[in-house]
A and B are shown apart, each in its own frame.
Chain A
Amino acid sequence: MIPIFEPETEAEAAGIVATIARNDLTLKIEGGGTRSGLGNPVAADRLLSTRKLSGIVSYNPAEMTMTTKAGTPVAEIEAMLVENRQMLAFEPLDHRGVMATVGEPTIGGVFATNASGPRRLVAGAARDHLLGIRFANGAGEVIKSGGRVMKNVTGLDLVKLLCGSHGTLGLLTEVTFKVLPLPPASATIVVSGLDDAQAAAAMARAMALPVEVSGAAHLPESVRSRFLGGGLPDGPATVLRLEGLAASVVVRREKLVAAFASIAPVAVLDHDATTSLWREVRDVKPYADATQKPLWRVSVAPSAGQHLVAALRLEAGVDAFYDWQGGLVWLRMEADAEADLLRRYIKGLGGGHAALVWASDAIRARTPAFEPEAPAVAALSARLKHKFDPKGIFNPGKMGF
Chain B
Amino acid sequence: MPETIAFLEPKQSVLSRRAAIIEDLADLLPRDCLISERRGLVPFETDAFIAYRQVPLAVVLPETTAEVAAVLRYCSRYGIPVVPRGAGTSLSGGAIPQADAVVIGLSKMSRILDIDFANRTATVQAGVTNLNISEAVSADGFFYAPDPSSQLACTIGGNIGMNSGGAHCLKYGVTTNNLLGVKMVLFDGTVIELGGKALDAPGYDLLGLVCGSEGQLGIVTEATVRLIAKPEGARPVLFGFPSSEEAGSCVAEVIGSGIIPVAIEFMDKPAISICEAFAHAGYPMDVEALLIVEVEGSEAEMEAMLSNIIEIARRHGVSTIKESQSATEAALIWKGRKSAFGATGRIADYICMDGTVPLGQLSHVLKKTSEIIDGYGLRVANVFHAGDGNMHPLILYNINDPEDAARAEAAGNDILKLCVDAGGCLTGEHGVGIEKRDLMLHQFSQADLDQQMAARAAFDPQWIMNPSKVFPLEGRPAA
Q: Determine the residue in chain B with the shortest Cβ distance to A169.
A: B204
Let me know if B139 is at the binding interface, CB within 8 A: no
Q: Does B162 contact A (CB under 8 A)?
A: yes
For residue A64, which residues in chain B have a CB less than 8 angstroms away from its CB?
255, 359
**Residue B332 CB within 8 A of the other chain:** no
Contact indicator A156/B202 (Cβ below 8 Å): no
Q: What's the minimum C-beta distance from B425 to chain A, rounded to whole angstroms? A: 5
Which residues of chain A in 126-145 are interfacial with respect to chain B, using CB atoms and an 8 Å cutoff?
127-128, 137, 141-145
Nearest B residue to A244 by beta-carbon distance? B301
- Taken residue by residue from 103 to 145, chain A's Cβ proximity to chain B (1 for < 8 Å, 0 otherwise) reads as 0000000000010000011001101100000000100011111
Select the residue from A85, A370, A384 with max chain B CB neighbours within 10 A.
A384
Q: A62-B255, A251-B300 are in contact. Are A204 and B117 (CB under 8 A)?
A: yes
**Is B117 a contact partner of A161 (Cβ separation < 8 A)?**
no
Listed stretches B32-40, B55-63, B396-404, B439-447; interface member: B439-447
* Cβ contact within 8 Å between A153 and B199: no
Residue B298 at the A interface, CB < 8 A?
Answer: yes
A151–B176 CB distance below 8 A:
no
A144–B67 alpha-carbon span in the complex (Å): 38
Which of chain B's residues has its CB closest to A351's CB? B196
Bitwise, B192-203 to A at CB < 8 A (1) or not (0) is: 111011111111
A328 to B440, CA, bound (A): 40
The reply to whether A157 and B212 contact each other, CB–CB distance below 8 Å, is yes
Q: State the CA gap A29–B308 with chains docked (Å).
A: 47
Chain B residue, CB-CB nearest to A209: B229
> Are B360 and A62 neighbours in the complex by a CB distance under 8 Å?
yes
B301 in contact with A145 (CB, 8 Å): no
Q: How far is the CA of A144 from the CA of B443 in the complex (A)?
A: 10
Query: Complex formed: what's the CA distance from A58 to B209 in Å?
Result: 27
Does A230 sit within 8 A of B, measured CB to CB?
no
Task: Report if A327-B199 is in contact (Cβ < 8 Å); known contacts: A85-B258, A210-B231.
Answer: yes
Q: Who on chain A is nearest to B254 by CB?
A: A62
Chain B: which residue is nearest A355 at the CB level? Answer: B202
Is A322 an interface residue, CB under 8 A from the partner? no
By CB atoms of chain A within 10 A, which of B120, B260, B456, B457 has the most? B120
Report chain A residues within 8 Å CB of B253. 62
Asked if residues A120 and B199 are in contact (CB atoms below 8 Å), the reply is yes
Q: List CB contacts (< 8 Å) of A152-183 with chain B.
A: 152-161, 163-165, 169, 180-182
Q: A303 to B119: give the CA distance in the assembly, Å.
A: 6
Chain A residues near B431 (CB, 8 Å)? 153
| List of B residues within 8 angstroms of A182 by Cβ | 258
A208 adjacent to B444 (CB under 8 Å): no
Q: Which A residues are CB-close (under 8 A) to B356?
A: 149-152
A370–B201 alpha-carbon span in the complex (Å): 10
Complex partner residue of A62 from B198, B231, B359, B432, CB under 8 angstroms: B359
CB-nearest residue of chain B to A211 = B229
- A154 to B390: give the CA distance in the assembly, Å: 13
A312 at the interface (CB under 8 A from B): no
Q: Does A61 contact B (CB under 8 A)?
A: yes
Q: Does A324 contact B (CB under 8 A)?
A: yes
A151 and B260 form a contact (CB under 8 A): no
Q: Are B206 and A380 in touch, CB under 8 angstroms?
A: yes
Residue in contact with A150 in the complex, picked from B388, B426, B458, CB distance below 8 Å? B388
Q: Are B208 and A137 in contact (CB under 8 A)?
A: no
Cα separation A103 to B444 with both chains bound (whole Å): 36
Does B84 reach chain A (CB closer than 8 Å)? Answer: no
Query: Which of A137, A148, A370 contacts B358 (CB under 8 A)?
Result: A148
Per a CB cutoff under 8 Å, which of B117, B201, B449 touches A208? B117
Q: Encode A200-241 as 1/0 by CB contact (under 8 A) with B.
A: 110010011110100000000000000000000000000000
Interface string of B177-209 (1 = CB under 8 A from A): 100000000100011111011111111111111
Contact (Cβ within 8 A) B305 A245: yes
Chain B residues within 8 Å of A62, by CB: 252-253, 255-256, 359-360
Stretch among A2-10, A270-278, A294-302, A359-367 lining the B interface? A294-302
Instruction: Using A204-B118, A301-B198, A351-B196 as known contacts, say yes or no to A210 and B255 having CB atoms under 8 A apart.
Output: no
Q: Does A19 contact B (CB under 8 A)?
A: no
Which residue of B has the minimal Cβ distance to A201? B118
Chain B residues, Cβ within 8 Å of A160: 176, 205, 207-209, 211
Given contacts A63-B358, A207-B229, contact A127 B447 (CB under 8 A): no
B430 contact set on A, CB distance < 8 A: 153
* Contact mask for chain B residues 224-243; partner A; CB cutoff 8 A; 1 contact, 0 none: 00000111100000000000
A377 interface residue (CB < 8 Å to B): yes
Q: How far is the CB of B467 from chain A (nearest CB, A)?
A: 14
Q: Is A373 a contact of B455 with CB atoms below 8 Å?
A: no
Give the number of residues in A that approach B within 8 Å (Cβ atoms).
89
What is the CA–CA distance of A370 and B200 in the complex, to the nearest angstrom? Answer: 12
In the bound complex, do residue B205 and residue A164 qualify as a contact, i.e. CB atoms below 8 Å apart?
A: yes
If A152-B428, A380-B459 touch, whether A300 touches B208 (CB-CB below 8 Å) is: no
Report B-chain residues with C-beta under 8 Å of the C-beta of A355. 202
A119 CB to nearest B CB, Å: 12
Q: Is B304 an interface residue (CB 8 A)?
A: yes
**Smallest Cβ distance from A83 to chain B, in angstroms?**
13
For the complex, give the distance between the alpha carbons of A246 and B255 in Å.
Answer: 18
Taking a contact as CB atoms under 8 Å apart, the answer to whether A377 and B192 are in contact is yes
**With contact pairs A150-B356, A150-B388 given, residues A247 and B173 touching in the complex (Cβ less than 8 Å):** no
Binary contact track B212-232/A, C-beta < 8 Å → 1, others 0: 110010000000000001111
CB neighbours of A350 from chain B (8 A)? 196-197
Residue of B nearest to A120 (CB): B199
Within 231-264 of A, Cβ neighbours of B (below 8 Å) are at 244-245, 247-248, 251-252
Q: Quick check: B458 and A387 within 8 Å, CB to CB?
A: yes
Within 8 A of A (CB), among B423-479: 423-432, 436, 440, 443-445, 447-449, 451-452, 454-459, 470
B290 within 8 A of A: no
Closest approach, in angstroms, between the C-beta of A213 and any C-beta of chain B? 9
| B204: chain A residues within 8 A (beta carbon) | 161, 164-165, 169, 381, 384-385, 399
| Residues A302 and B118 in contact, CB atoms below 8 Å apart | yes
Q: How far is the CA of A372 from the CA of B203 in the complex (A)?
A: 8
A148 touches B423 (CB 8 A): yes
**Is A151 touching B165 in the complex (CB atoms < 8 A)?**
yes
B357 is an interface residue with CB less than 8 A from chain A: yes
In the complex, the chain A residue whose C-beta lies closest to that of B193 is: A374
Cα–Cα, bound, A385→B458 (Å): 9
| Beta-carbon contacts under 8 Å, B374-392 to A | 385, 388-390
Q: How far is the CA of A153 from the CA of B436 in the complex (A)?
A: 11
Q: What is the interface of chain B, defined by CB distance below 8 A to chain A?
A: 116-121, 141-142, 162-163, 165, 169-170, 173-174, 176-177, 186, 190-194, 196-209, 211-213, 216, 229-232, 252-253, 255-256, 258-260, 297-298, 300-301, 303-305, 356-360, 385, 388-390, 423-432, 436, 440, 443-445, 447-449, 451-452, 454-459, 470
* Residue contacts A-B, CB under 8 angstroms, 11 given: A64-B359, A114-B205, A155-B444, A165-B204, A201-B118, A208-B229, A251-B301, A300-B198, A301-B119, A387-B455, A388-B451
Closest 3 CB pairs between A and B?
A: A160-B208, A62-B256, A181-B258
Query: What 14 additional pairs, Cβ within 8 angstroms, besides A208-B117, A350-B197, A353-B200?
Result: A63-B358, A63-B360, A145-B448, A148-B358, A148-B423, A150-B389, A153-B431, A158-B452, A165-B204, A204-B119, A208-B141, A299-B198, A353-B202, A380-B458
